[in-house]
Amino acid sequence: MALPAAADSHEDDGWGDEVLYFVIVDRFADGDPDNNQNVDISAKGTFHGGDLIGLRERLDDLADLGVTVLWITPVVKNIPGFVTGAGFPDWGYHGYWADDFYSLDPRFGSEEDLEALVDAAHERGIKVLLDVVYNHVGYDSRYTKDPATRAWIRASCGQDDLTTCVGGLPDLKTELPEVADYLFKAHIGLAERVGLDGFRIDTVKHVDHDFWQEHRRRLNEALGEEFFLLGEVWGGDARNLDPWFATDELDAGFDFGFQGSTLAFLQGRGRPIAFNRYLEKRHEVREGYHLGHYLSTHDVAGALFQLEGDIELFELAALLQLSVSGIPIIFYGEEVGRPGGDWPDNRSDMPWGDLGIKPGAGLPRNEELRSSYQRLIELRRGTPALWRGTHAGHHFDQDLLSFVRRDEATGQAVVVAVNRSAEQAAAMPPLEEWLGSEVKDLWNEETLEIAGAEATVTVPPRSARILTLE
C-alpha cells in the first residue's frame, strides 16, 4: 500500500513520465578548446575538456534519443589543483570539490554558457537539473584557509551522518545560519539567473532536515513550487526516503536497489518472483513523490561492465528500466554501449565514433543499441500504463518474469514479459480479458491471436514482450 500524502497535500508534478539523462560535463563534448586547462585525455584523473558549449552543441542528439530531462554535474569553480589519495593525480573534473560557490569554473564555461545551455534545452522540450553540493567543499579549498570562512568547516569529523566527513572532504557546518544563508543565496541565485528547472542534490542525509525545509521554503519563494528536487540519500528506497518526502524536502530520491536487483535477476542470481516482489515494493513510495532508478552512475560500476559486455542482457535491463514506475536515469553513453567499469573507468569519455567530437572522438558506438533506446523511450512515453500504472505479478517460472501494469485513467493493461534464459523459450498464459482477441506486442511489433483458454504466449530466449490489446 502506498504511503499517505504529505501533510501539505503535495500534488504529482507531472514528472512521472520524464526520462532523465545524466552527463559528467567534462567527459561529454569539448566545444571550446580555449578554456582547456590541465587537459590530458590519456589520464583517468585529469580534465578531458568537456564543457557547457560542447554539451549545448549536442542537445539535438539527446532530443533525438527522446530524453526529456538533462542532469549535469556541478559547474561551480573547483579546487585548482589535484589530490593523490587515489594513487594518481585526481582533479575536480567532476565538479564536486568546490572552491568558490559563487563562480563557475572557467574550465566548464561561463554563467552565460550555462544560461545558453538551459535556453537551448528548453527550446527542445528538455528540462535541466543542476547538481549542487551543500554538505562539503573541496580538499584544501579556499574556504578552509580564509579567516572569514575557516570557522564554517568542522574541526573534527564525527561518526553520525551530520558530522562525518564524506571521503575526508572538509565538512561544512550547515547547521549554522550564516553558512546556510551563504549556500542558499549561491545556488538558488544561480538557478534564478539561468532558468534552471531543478537541482540534483548531493549527500542529502549528511545535512539536517531543518536545513532542507528552509531550502524548500526559499526555493518556493524564489522559483515557485514547480522547481524539482532530486536527492541523493545513499541507500535510498521507497521507505527510507520517506522522511524527506513527508516534509516535502525532496520531490524524488534515488532507488539504490534497482541496479543490483535487476542485474541479479538477469544473471540468474535470483528467482523471478523475488525480483517481482522488489518491483512491487517500489510502489510503496509516498503518493506524489518519485523514485529515480539507474543502471549505471558515476559512483558504481556500470551495468554493461557488470554484465561482462553482454549486450543482449543489457538491452533487457534497459527494457525493464523503461517499463516500470519511477524516473529512469540514463548515464551518458550507456545508450551506445559505453562499457564503463569500476571507478574511475565508469567516468570514461562519451563515445563519438567517427564524428570527430573530443574527448571521445574515435571511441566505438553501438548504434543498434541506441535505436533500441529510442524505441523504448518512445514506447514508455506513449504508453501511460508503463510509467503510472499499478503493478502486479503475472507469471513466473525458472527464467521467465511477467508482470501486469494497469493504468486506471485509461483502463489499459500492459503485460511486460522477460525471458532471461539463453537455452529455451518460455510460455505464459494470457490475461483472461484477452481471450478471443488480438494482442499487440509493442516491442517486437507483432500481432498475436489469443484463440482460447488454452492459448499461451511464448517468449523466445533472451528476449522480451510488451503486450497490450490491439
Domain for residue 158, yes or no? yes
Q: At which of 382, 417, 439 does a domain end?
A: 382
Q: What's the pLDDT score for residue 8?
A: 41
Q: Helices marked H in 247-382 — which ranges?
A: 258-266, 272-281, 303-306, 311-321, 367-382
Q: What's the pLDDT score for residue 375?
A: 98
Q: List for the chain the helix, strand, coil content (%; round to 5).
A: 35, 20, 45
Region 5-26: mean pLDDT is: 74
Q: Helices marked H in 300-416 — which ranges?
A: 303-306, 311-321, 367-382, 384-388
Number of structural domains found in the chain: 2
Domain for residue 325, yes or no? yes
Q: What's the pLDDT score for residue 454?
A: 79
The pLDDT tens digits for 218-237 are 999 999 999 999 999 999 99
- State which residues form the domain around 458: 390-469
Tell me 440's DSSP state.
E
Q: Within this chain, do residues 29 and 61 fall inside the same structural domain, yes or no? A: yes
CA dist 118 → 31, 113, 168 (Å): 16, 9, 33
Q: What's the pLDDT score for residue 13?
A: 53
State the number of CA atoms in the 13 A half-sphere of 106 facing the CB.
Answer: 7
Distance CA 48, CA 30 (A): 8
Domain for residue 207, yes or no? yes
Question: What does pTM read for this prediction?
Answer: 0.96
Q: CA torsion, points 463, 336, 131, 150, in degrees to nearest 10?
A: 120
Q: What's the pLDDT score for residue 240?
A: 96
The pLDDT tens digits for 119-167 are 999 999 999 999 999 999 999 999 999 999 999 999 999 999 999 999 9
Which range (39-43, 241-245, 420-424) has the least confidence? Answer: 420-424
Residue 5 has pLDDT above 90, yes or no: no
Average pLDDT, the chain: 95
Q: What's the pLDDT score for residue 11?
A: 47
Query: The domain spanning residue 462 has which CATH number?
Result: 2.60.40.1180
Q: Within this chain, do residues 378 and 403 fall inside the same structural domain, yes or no? A: no
Residue 1 has pLDDT above 60, yes or no: no
Category of 304 on φ-ψ map: left (φ > 0), alpha (ψ -120 to 50) or beta: alpha
> What is the residue type of 121?
A
Q: Within this chain, do residues 369 and 397 fall inside the same structural domain, yes or no? A: no
Q: Within this chain, do residues 216 and 183 fall inside the same structural domain, yes or no? A: yes
Q: Which residues of 280-302 are buried (b: 16+ CB within 10 A; e: fewer)?
A: ebbbebbebbbbbbbbbbbebbb
Beta strands, E only, 93-160: 98-104, 127-132
Q: Give the pLDDT band (50/70/90) at residue 452.
A: confident
Residue 423 has pLDDT above 90, yes or no: no
Tell me the percentage of the chain whose pLDDT exceeds 90: 94
Q: At which of 382, 409, 440 does a domain end?
A: 382
Q: Within this chain, do residues 41 and 140 fall inside the same structural domain, yes or no? A: yes
Region 344-349: mean pLDDT is: 97
Residue 2 has pLDDT above 80, yes or no: no
Q: At which of 343, 365, 382 does a domain end?
A: 382
Cell readout for 42 is 590519456
Residue with grid cell 566548464, as numbered in its chain: 108
Q: Within this chain, do residues 303 and 441 fall inside the same structural domain, yes or no? A: no
CA 240 to chain centroid, in Å, comes to: 18
Domain for residue 152, yes or no? yes
The pLDDT tens digits for 283-339 are 999 999 999 999 999 999 999 999 999 999 999 999 999 999 999 999 999 999 999
Q: Within this chain, do residues 94 and 237 fall inside the same structural domain, yes or no? A: yes
Cell readout for 59 is 542537445
Q: Within this chain, do residues 347 and 448 fall inside the same structural domain, yes or no? A: no
Q: Within this chain, do residues 153 and 205 fall inside the same structural domain, yes or no? A: yes
Residue 4 has pLDDT above 50, yes or no: no
Query: The domain spanning residue 251 has which CATH number?
Result: 3.20.20.80
Q: Within this chain, do residues 139 and 33 fall inside the same structural domain, yes or no? A: yes
Residue 182's SS3 state is helix
Kindly give, in sequence order, each residue whose CB lies less than 8 Å from that of residue 226, ignoring residues fewer than 6 positions away.
13
Q: Is 158 exposed, middle or buried (0-12, 13-18, 19+ CB in 10 A)?
A: exposed
Q: Within this chain, do residues 293 and 395 fall inside the same structural domain, yes or no? A: no
Q: Within this chain, do residues 377 and 394 fall inside the same structural domain, yes or no? A: no
Q: What's the pLDDT score for residue 353?
A: 97
Instruction: Answer whether 158's CB lies under 8 Å from 101's CB.
Output: no
Distance CA 215, CA 174 (A): 11
Peptide bond into 344 cis (omega under 30): yes
